[in-house]
Amino acid sequence: MSILQPSGFTPPIPDAYGTPYLVCLVKNVHWVYVFWELTDDLLNKARQDLGEDPSARIVLRVWMGEAFERQVVCDLPLEANLGAQYVHLPQPGSAYQMEILLVGSQGSVSLLASNFVVTPFGGVCAVEDENWASIEDLYTQYAFKAAGEQLSSPQLWHISSQMYKPPQPADELELIVDTELVIYGKTAPDAVVFIQGEAVPTNPDGSFTVRYALPEGCTIFPIKAVSRDGKQKQTIVPLITKETY
């Protein structure tokens, strides 16, 4: 029997779909966004394979590289079967893959593997494109063309050898500028604070202050507070952009 819904009714989006998945999306040169869903059947099968090890835990493993050259970057603990988080990656312009495993005292079982992603390069490419002329080349070509309209070939070569000698670089005044970011805040006195997945020290009143070197480009700082009993969580994600000219 079907149930008629009122006109314009939109069913709510479910929290979970009952289908395991692990997806990785590139945010910038150092960050990816990962979201996943684990099913009870998948976890129960993995626990059986590990002999119902009570110490088994779920981790998100970060792989860098491809095929036989790939290596483990780190293992991040996962607190929920359904969730999403940002993951910091160490090396721009590299291939990465995420994997969720159930790790026990006697081994591990792979649960899910994500798609491969390649992060953008963190700087200007050192390879010069030969299809494009430099400013110096264009200026030289223009000068030779202009001089060729008035001078013969021997005169042109004689004068141009003196005219277009590259100037000696002048002494430059050295200037080095670095930037730092100060993050400070406050939470419950007994709560634990994580910034970019790492626990940071807090004062007895719950306040905290952390300093970070601020690189060029867009940087994300996921900040999460977890209550002492683990039942309450709060997340704030500042996005900081630095541009130097």
68 token code pair: 């036989």
Domain for residue 7, yes or no?
A: no
Domain for residue 159, yes or no?
A: no
Q: What letter represents residue 243's amino acid?
A: E
- Is the pTM higher than 0.85? The answer reads no
Q: 61, 75 in Cβ contact below 8 A?
A: yes
Domain for residue 96, yes or no?
A: yes
Q: Of 93, 118, 143, which residue constitutes the final position of a domain?
A: 118
Domain total in the chain: 2
Domain for residue 51, yes or no?
A: yes
Q: How far is CA 75 from its chain centroid?
A: 16
pLDDT digits (tens, 9 = 90+) for 120-162: 887 655 555 556 656 666 666 666 665 555 544 444 444 444 4
Q: Of 98, 118, 138, which residue constitutes the final position of a domain?
A: 118
Q: Of 118, 136, 156, which residue constitutes the final position of a domain?
A: 118
CATH code, domain with 197: 2.60.40.10
The pLDDT value recorded for residue 11 is 65
Domain for residue 65, yes or no?
A: yes
The pLDDT value recorded for residue 121 is 80
Owner of token pair 């491969």: 116
Q: CA of 175: how far to CAs of 42, 172, 178, 213, 241, in Å?
A: 57, 9, 10, 18, 22
For residue 201, what are the domain limits?
Answer: 180-242
Please indicate, yes or no, whether residues 106 and 184 belong to a single structural domain of this protein.
Answer: no
pLDDT digits (tens, 9 = 90+) for 80-89: 899 999 999 9
Please indicate, yes or no, whether residues 25 and 109 belong to a single structural domain of this protein.
Answer: yes
Least confident of 36-40, 67-71, 103-107: 67-71
The pLDDT value recorded for residue 155 is 45
Domain for residue 29, yes or no?
A: yes
Domain for residue 142, yes or no?
A: no
Please indicate, yes or no, whether residues 111 and 37 belong to a single structural domain of this protein.
Answer: yes
